[in-house]
Amino acid sequence: MPWVKAFHIIFMVTWFAGLFYLPRLFVYHATTEDEPSLARFKIMERKLFVIMTIGAALTILFGLWLMFGADWMASGSAGWLHAKLTLVAGLIGYHVWLWFLMRDFRADANVHSEGFYRFINEIPALLLVAIVILAVVKPF
């Protein structure tokens, strides 16, 4: 299981790198007006989204492998695991929401300000802190 855990962590880092950077690209995209830059941001956002989605899928795959490869009855009754899985579900929802925002940019239909994107850029950091604390400390 150490290899599975290592790959789970590696792909989690990949996923979070994208979750941290995509809203930052949105900040810059929201303030750009020239056509070449707008086209460049659309390409960058799409490529980053593909990479972070692969990271997300493999994080979830290796996480499920860890969860079901361990003693499910012991892990399944742990409150920390239920809380972590709830936060991961929220993270998946955030990931999907970023896809909708990216789609709006692609259609030149963005309605949000640069400040909005700066604000939502903090969401994955808060979730990361909570998820890591739950997984490492197992407070309940």
Q: Please write the tens of the pLDDT for every residue from 80-119.
A: 999 999 999 999 999 999 999 999 999 999 999 999 999 9
Q: What is the residue range of 108's domain?
A: 2-137
What integer pLDDT is reported at residue 35 of this predicted model? 97
DSSP string for 1-38: -HHHHHHHHHHHHHHHHHHHHHHHHHHHHHT--SHHHH
Tokens standing for 43? 């390409």
pTM above 0.85, yes or no: yes
CA distance 126 to 13: 15
Q: How many domains does the chain have?
A: 1
